[in-house]
Amino acid sequence: MKITDAKVIVTSPGRNFVTLKIMTDECVYGIGDATLNGRELAVVSYLKDHVAPCLIGRDPHQIEDIWQYLYRGAYWRTGPVTMAAIAAVDTALWDIKAKAANMPLYQLLGGKSRAGVMVYGHANGRDIDETIDEVGKYVELGYKAIRAQSGIPGLDSTYGVSADKLFYEPADADLPSENVWSTTKYLDHTPRLFEAIRNKYGFDPHLLHDVHHRLTPIEAARLGKSLEPYRLFWMEDAVPAENQESFRLIRQHTTTPLAVGEIFNTIWDCRTLIQEQLIDYIRTTVVHAGGITHLRRILDFASIYNVRSGCHGATDLSPVCMGASLHLGLSAPNFGVQEYMRHTPETDEVFPHAYSYSDGYLYPGDTPGHGVDLDEALAEKYPYRRAYLPVNRLEDGAMWNW
């Protein structure tokens, strides 16, 4: 089998997605997600100008060799643009291999380790009462795990709180909108949110919370301690993780489980975190961490240290990424939980998929490949629109992490 073409498709059915479609001389094709929120066109160029020409004529079954060729061969390693491009190729090649074998992808990854993939949904509200109501809606939908975020008194807007409750979209403007952040207000408010949720719903649903990189290590330690009575499933991205050692300090102070890694691109970004058992869940996902080949390497490494997966699954990761992630989640022995932010009906129509939700779990389905396709004619009707994530400033105007 030979690769005959590699086409990059940009579409915006409510939000931007970049998809790579690899064609072969045997009429089997594969698709991979290459979306990098707010920097989409950089990956488009990387793929079109620098990767696609190198793929033509290669054997698509040589997945590992092609991965190494694109990673080592570029000389310039890692980074979100490079790794999203490599991920798209890798995902498309696994799709081709599984279609050629006439098997769902999870079979090629070793078969099922579980019946379904537990997912968590996003409950959020402008204040504690509204968030409590939203948690109730996810309980009604059968979710076993629910992330809770709430607006903070005295701050106009904050991460995780959206107007549309089911379809959260943070890339909300043509140029970055500006938010104001106060750690003091946040640290006072957040334990009250979880106290109120536990009072209302008891300890049955798993509760998760995303700090979104906003604290220092000692502040994160304080938050983790103050949340201990509410037994969170995890506290996510408590601090920016360029310094993996930051987590040593947090870990010394709290038993609240820690999750991190949605913006990591390689196994080296999480090596210390995993090896020193400083985290409980690694959140790297297919599209931003080099595809199925590299994410599986990360998860296997993590399994030795009792670290489980908690793959990122926000709306800016396309249904193609979700499908691939579900196959890996079904097979990985150390799967933990999968984030599931629902895509809009327009997006679902452009990306017909075999996966389905039922009673707190996602099931990848048994279609050969990863089970997600792209309706190219429909995709063309939704042209790219520039959209950025917000930025954050402290109350004195200084830039902060969003």
120 a catalytic residue: no
Full strand arrangement of the beta sheet holding 3-11: 3-11, 17-24, 29-33
Q: Which of 134, 269, 316, 373 binds ligand KDG (CB under 6 A)?
A: 316
Binding positions for ligand KDG, 240-269, rule CB under 6 A = 262
- Ranges of H-type helices in 228-355: 246-253, 271-275, 291-304, 319-331, 345-350
Of the CA atoms within 13 Å of residue 234, those in its CB half-sphere come to 27
Residue 90's Cα: distance from chain center in Å? Answer: 17
The verdict on 210 binding Mg ion (CB under 5 A) reads yes
The verdict on 158 binding ligand KDG (CB under 6 A) reads no
Cβ neighbourhood burial of 172 (10 Å; 0-12, 13-18, 19+)? middle
212 a catalytic residue: yes
**Given phi > 0 = left and psi -120 to 50 = alpha, else beta, which region is 88?**
alpha
Residue 134 binding target from ligand KDG, Mg ion, none, CB below 5 to 8 Å by type = none
The verdict on 209 binding ligand KDG (CB under 6 A) reads no
Q: Which of 212, 213, 327, 353 is catalytic?
A: 212
- CB closer to ligand KDG, 121 vs 369: 121
DSSP 57-103: TS-TT-HHHHHHHHHHTTSS--SHHHHHHHHHHHHHHHHHHHHHTTS
Binding positions for ligand KDG, 41-60, rule CB under 6 A = none
Which of the stretches 123-131, 214-222, 310-318, 390-398 binds ligand KDG when contact is defined by CB under 6 A?
A: 310-318
Residue linked to tokens 């929120």: 37
The verdict on 95 binding ligand KDG (CB under 6 A) reads no
Q: Which of 29, 159, 340, 355 is catalytic?
A: 159
Residue 170 binding target from Mg ion, ligand KDG, none, CB below 5 to 8 Å by type = ligand KDG
Residue 339 binding target from ligand KDG, Mg ion, none, CB below 5 to 8 Å by type = ligand KDG
- CB closer to Mg ion, 16 vs 37: 37
CA angle 57, 62, 66 (to 5 degrees): 75
The verdict on 339 binding ligand KDG (CB under 6 A) reads yes
Which of the stretches 65-73, 95-103, 221-229, 312-320 binds ligand KDG when contact is defined by CB under 6 A?
A: 312-320
- CB closer to ligand KDG, 37 vs 293: 37
The verdict on 212 binding ligand KDG (CB under 6 A) reads yes
Q: Are 171 and 38 in contact (CB under 8 A)?
A: yes
The verdict on 314 binding ligand KDG (CB under 6 A) reads yes
Please, what is the minimum distance in Å from the beta carbon of residue 82 to ligand KDG? Answer: 18
What is residue 211's DSSP assignment?
-
The verdict on 170 binding ligand KDG (CB under 6 A) reads yes
Residue 37 binding target from Mg ion, ligand KDG, none, CB below 5 to 8 Å by type = ligand KDG
Q: If residue 186 lies in a helix (H) or strand (E), which one and from where to where? A: helix 183-201
CA angle 183, 185, 190 (to 5 degrees): 90
Beta bridge partners of 282: 260, 309
C-alpha to C-alpha distance for 62 and 118, rounded to whole angstroms: 32
Q: Are 329 and 311 in contact (CB under 8 A)?
A: yes
Residue of 235, 233, 275 whose CA lies nearest to 253: 235
Binding positions for Mg ion, 234-263, rule CB under 5 A = 262
Residue 256 binding target from Mg ion, ligand KDG, none, CB below 5 to 8 Å by type = none
Please, what is the minimum distance in Å from the beta carbon of residue 139 to Mg ion? Answer: 22
Please, what is the minimum distance in Å from the beta carbon of residue 168 to ligand KDG? Answer: 8
Q: Are 286 and 328 in contact (CB under 8 A)?
A: yes
- CB closer to Mg ion, 219 vs 262: 262
Please, what is the minimum distance in Å from the beta carbon of residue 261 to ligand KDG? Answer: 10
Please, what is the minimum distance in Å from the beta carbon of residue 314 to ligand KDG? Answer: 3
Q: Are 4 and 373 in contact (CB under 8 A)?
A: no
Interface contacts to Mg ion, rule CB under 5 A: 210, 262
Q: Which residues are catalytic?
A: 159, 212
List of residues contacting ligand KDG (CB under 6 A) = 37, 170, 210, 212, 262, 312, 314, 316, 339, 389
